[in-house]
């Protein structure tokens, strides 16, 4: 089989902090978080690993970084707790796995891959998904592990706005995390 | 929302997306990230895609499957198709972005809003990252 040139791209979300509000320290932290994820994926691709392993490694690195809205640092629902969604898909046979509305697995993308590889389904949601993930041995962390002061503050701001009826003038970052 | 797309040395493609949704969302609300063909898609015959943004719009327009179809049916090259599609989504209140990679060539990263945390590696593994339009 002919070899192709490997390639990897990532995103950390389109809800960015406006340029004029981003101080140099925060800017550097975002770039470093992105580079950490790129290194995690590229190391695998460079070693000849499948693309599926590379995208999972890169997304896990972003889920572990509280700057980004996924895994640890996920935004909070109006009920004050995180509900996380994730998906993964392989292009050779269109195998796919996804989870919706879960809280517990450190890395939701890894949960999605377990759904793909061990459940016989594509998409699993909520309590049923969590029960399956426990059955297959996934570690569960408390909701407090995922919450950050920044997301709690963004939630309180939004709930206060809704209560007051003021117009939604949030930045992308506050809305989309 | 975070995501990744990759092509390996055997030409295999893959995509992954993960999210907390948006701040103060209603419990039970699910956006495009876990919906295959909306926020996440991969098919070696066309491309791998991961999206971020107004999930309801990306679901209704099956954003990532739409991009793959335009490439697979040979109507447009990947970068042209992605740029056109993200602009079309923007015109329908679908604010956000997408990253994609095909069977050959460099990854494509497009967005229709003020910025997107993003990055890619070139064939030598040189890292490139950005936040706003830079």
The C-alpha atoms of residue B17 and residue B49 are separated, in whole angstroms, by 9
Check residues A51 and A168 and name the one with the higher pLDDT.
Answer: A51
Q: Report CB contact under 8 Å: B6, A86.
A: no
Per-residue pLDDT band at A170 (split at 50, 70, 90): low
Residue of B nearest to A13 (CA): B1
Instruction: Choose among B29, B101, B114: nearest Cβ to A9.
Output: B101
pLDDT at B86 over 80: yes
Give CA separation, B60 vs A121, A138, B56, B64, B128, in Å.
22, 32, 6, 11, 32
Stretch B74-86: mean pLDDT: 95
Of B28, B39, B42, the CB nearest to A91: B42
Rounded to an integer, what distance in angstroms lies between the CA atom of residue B103 and that of residue B70?
14
CA distance A88 to A43: 19
First to last CA, chain B: 21
Least confident segment among A13-27, A113-127, B15-29: A13-27
d(CA B52, CA B39): 7
| A151 contacts chain B (CB < 8 A) | yes
B96: helix, strand or coil: strand
β-pairing, B2-7 vs A84-90, is unpaired
What is the ipTM score, two decimals? 0.98
Give the active site residue among B1, B17, B40, B52.
B1
pLDDT band at B123 (very low <50, low <70, confident <90, very high): confident
Contact between B99 and B108 under an 8 Å Cβ cutoff? The reply is: yes
Residue A174 has pLDDT above 70, yes or no: no
**Statement: residue A172 has pLDDT above 70:** no
């Amino acid at each position: 089989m002919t070899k192709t040139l490997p390639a990897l791209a990532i995103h950390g979300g389109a809800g960015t902090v406006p340029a004029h509000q981003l101080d140099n320290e925060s800017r550097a932290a975002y770039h470093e978080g992105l580079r950490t994820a790129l290194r995690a994926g590229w190391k695998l691709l460079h070693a000849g690993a499948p693309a599926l392993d590379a995208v999972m490694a890169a997304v896990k690195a972003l889920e572990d970084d509280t700057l980004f809205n996924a895994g640890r640092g996920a935004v909070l629902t109006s009920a004050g707790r995180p509900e996380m969604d994730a998906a993964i898909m392989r292009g050779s046979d269109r195998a796919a796995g996804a989870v919706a509305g879960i809280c517990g697995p450190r890395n939701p993308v890894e949960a999605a891959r377990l759904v793909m590889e061990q459940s016989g389904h594509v998409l699993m949601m909520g309590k049923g998904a969590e029960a399956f993930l426990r059955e297959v041995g996934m570690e569960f962390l408390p909701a407090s592990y995922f919450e950050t002061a920044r997301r709690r503050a963004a939630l309180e701001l939004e709930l206060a706005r809704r209560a007051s009826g003021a117009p939604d003038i949030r930045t992308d970052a506050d809305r989309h995390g | 929302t975070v995501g990744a797309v990759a092509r390996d040395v055997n030409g295999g493609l893959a995509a992954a997306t993960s999210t907390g949704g948006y701040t103060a969302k209603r419990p039970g609300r699910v956006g495009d990230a876990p919906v295959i063909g909306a926020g996440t898609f991969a098919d070696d015959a066309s491309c791998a895609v991961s999206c971020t943004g107004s999930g309801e719009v990306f679901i209704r327009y099956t954003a990532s499957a739409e991009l793959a179809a335009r490439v697979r049916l040979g109507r447009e090259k990947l970068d042209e198709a992605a740029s056109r599609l993200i602009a079309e989504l923007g015109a329908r209140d679908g604010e956000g972005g997408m990253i994609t990679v095909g069977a050959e060539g460099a990854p494509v990263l497009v967005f229709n809003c003020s910025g997107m945390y993003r990055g890619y590696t070139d064939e030598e593994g040189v890292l490139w990252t950005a936040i706003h339009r830079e």
